[in-house]
């Protein structure tokens, strides 16, 4: 017995020693001095877990394409991926690792607004560039010293176009049912700003807690003001309940919602008579662009989500900015050069590989990505983005128009 115990203890110790040795040696052996290190911080688990994997895949693909074409001025891109767990606490630890251990020039792809706001101070303090798809208006108002850009249209831009759409429909009274989110109240304020100009009345808003299982009192309150259009500004689970209960309450007016909430899955889970006629607004990637089509082919789908398209553009912009800075792979270089390749009068390009080639020949470029034109304000917001409007008909989405 004691002999067995001795052997097993020795084996365990030996194993531990090997593991420890591997831990000390492996990272050094694998490191390439000339590689440009970029970090991805996407939600691979948690509430955003359904989006993160494809966002990361899009960035991986761009890195492969760039590396296959000879890298950024000869330097290959090495992508380091971390999971933000859709939680600010976990994201801060992951970002510290990317910044301190991997020494990345940029962190790309943060999704949840709270995660982005938690990670942003780390980035600007350590001069690391941050690119995000979060939509909350407050993000670009942080004192980020230019170390942040986002490709997701903010509330101001998105709701401005929604209001334009509603005015074109000539609706009379709009009521908002909104989940408690950072954009609930700002969205409503933006509607109040534009709709009255075209003679449409903003009847009111109820902000609800999205985890409730019934919304009878909220719906009663909405219907009391007799709206002919209800804006459902929530997420899929609560919008599912809301639409069912609106139908039961006998509401026959129009409904409009965000495309990420009222999606194909929601249409599949509810009867047609409940969903038919509902409009959806979706910030649209540039579906007609060559960049979009190429990425769709690479990822093996013909319907890319906007976040993957935006992430495709994140890494492309960062790589081009580094090339424009003569290969200086630092967050500060990206900050100082990103607007020199994303906007202006240079030659329009839609792929990083093509852009790198042109930069090599000393030409000026203007990157237009898979997600849109990718032109940024000084605060880091995008200047323009197309919003696509669809309508549910017979349980399927039908394209209405693009604004």
Partner 1 sequence: MNGRTDVENYLVAMATFACLYALLALGLNLVWGLAGMINLGLVGFFAVGAYVSALATKRGGVPIALGIVAALAVAAVAGAVMALITARLRGDYLAIITLGFSEVVRLVASNEIWLTNGTDGISGIPGPWRGRVSPVAFNVIFLVLAALLVTVVLGVLERVRHSPYGRVLRAIRDDDQVAGVAGKHVLRFKVEAFALSAGVLGVAGALWGHYTSFIAPEVFVPLITIYVVLALTAGGTGNNWGAVLGAFLVVFFMEATRFATGWLPGLGPVQIAALRESLIGLSLLVILRVRPAGLLPERLPRVEPPPAGEAAR
Interacting residues with partner 1 (CB under 8 A): 22-23, 26-27, 44-45, 52-53, 56, 81-83, 85, 87-90, 92-94, 96-97, 99-101, 103, 112-114, 117-118, 121, 125-126, 136, 138, 142-143, 180-182, 185, 207, 209
Question: What is the per-residue burial (b if ≥16 Cβ within 10 Å, else e) of 296-330?
Answer: bebbeeeebbbbbbbbbbbbbbbbbbbbbbeebbb
Cβ distance to partner 1 smaller for residue 125 or 288: 125
Of 84 and 390, CB closest to partner 1: 84
Q: How far is the CB of 151 from partner 1 (least distance, A)?
A: 20
Q: How far is the CB of 207 from partner 1 (least distance, A)?
A: 8
Question: Would you give the distance in Å from CA 189 to the centre of its chain?
Answer: 23
Min separation Cβ 25 and partner 1, Å? 11
Closest to partner 1 by CB, 92 vs 290, is: 92
Give least dist CB 85 to partner 1, A: 8
CB of 113 to partner 1, least distance (A): 8
Residue number with CB closer to partner 1 (299 or 353): 299
**53 vs 277, which CB is nearer to partner 1?**
53
CB nearer partner 1, residue 67 or residue 113: 113
Q: How far is the CB of 29 from partner 1 (least distance, A)?
A: 11
The overall longest dimension of the chain from CA atoms, in Å, is: 90
Minimum gap (Å) between residue 363 Cβ and partner 1? 33
Evaluate whether 263 touches 288 at the Cβ level (below 8 Å).
no
Residue closer to partner 1 by CB (options 117, 151) is 117
């Amino acid at each position: 017995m004691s002999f067995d115990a001795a052997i097993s203890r020795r084996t365990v110790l030996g194993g531990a020693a090997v593991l420890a040795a591997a831990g000390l040696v492996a990272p050094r052996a694998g490191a390439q001095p000339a590689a440009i290190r970029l970090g991805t911080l996407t939600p691979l688990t948690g509430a955003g877990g359904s989006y993160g994997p494809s966002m990361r895949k899009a960035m991986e693909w761009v890195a492969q394409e760039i590396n296959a074409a000879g890298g950024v001025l000869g330097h290959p891109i090495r992508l380091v991926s971390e999971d933000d767990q859709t939680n600010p606490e976990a994201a801060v630890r992951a970002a510290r690792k990317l910044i301190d251990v991997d020494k990345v020039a940029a962190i790309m792809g943060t999704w949840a607004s709270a995660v982005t706001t938690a990670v942003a101070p780390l980035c600007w303090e350590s001069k690391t560039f941050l690119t995000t798809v979060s939509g909350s208006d407050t993000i670009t108002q942080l004192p980020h010293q230019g170390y942040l850009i986002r490709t997701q249209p903010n509330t101001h831009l998105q709701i401005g176009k929604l209001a334009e759409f509603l005015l074109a429909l000539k609706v009379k009274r709009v009521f908002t049912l909104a989940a408690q989110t950072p954009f609930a109240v700002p969205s409503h304020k933006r509607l109040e700003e534009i709709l009255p100009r075209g003679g449409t009345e903003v009847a009111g808003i109820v902000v609800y807690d999205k985890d409730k299982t019934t919304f009878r009192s909220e719906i009663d309150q909405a219907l009391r003001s007799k709206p002919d259009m209800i804006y459902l500004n929530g997420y899929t689970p609560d919008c599912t309940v809301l639409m069912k209960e609106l139908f039961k309450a006998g509401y026959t007016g129009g409904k409009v919602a965000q495309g990420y909430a009222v999606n194909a899955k929601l249409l599949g889970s509810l009867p047609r008579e409940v969903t038919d006629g509902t409009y959806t607004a979706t910030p649209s990637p540039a579906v007609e662009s060559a960049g979009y089509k190429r990425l769709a082919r690479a990822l093996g789908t013909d319907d890319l989500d906007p976040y993957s398209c935006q992430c495709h553009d994140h890494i492309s912009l960062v790589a081009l900015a580094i090339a424009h800075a003569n290969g200086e792979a630092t967050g500060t270089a990206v900050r100082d050069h990103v607007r020199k390749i994303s906007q202006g009068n240079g030659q329009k390009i839609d792929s990083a590989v093509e852009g790198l080639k042109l930069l090599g020949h000393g030409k000026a470029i203007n990157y237009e990505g898979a997600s849109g034109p990718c032109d940024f304000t000084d605060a880091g917001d995008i200047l323009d983005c197309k919003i696509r409007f669809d309508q549910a008909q017979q349980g399927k989405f039908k394209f209405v128009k693009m604004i």
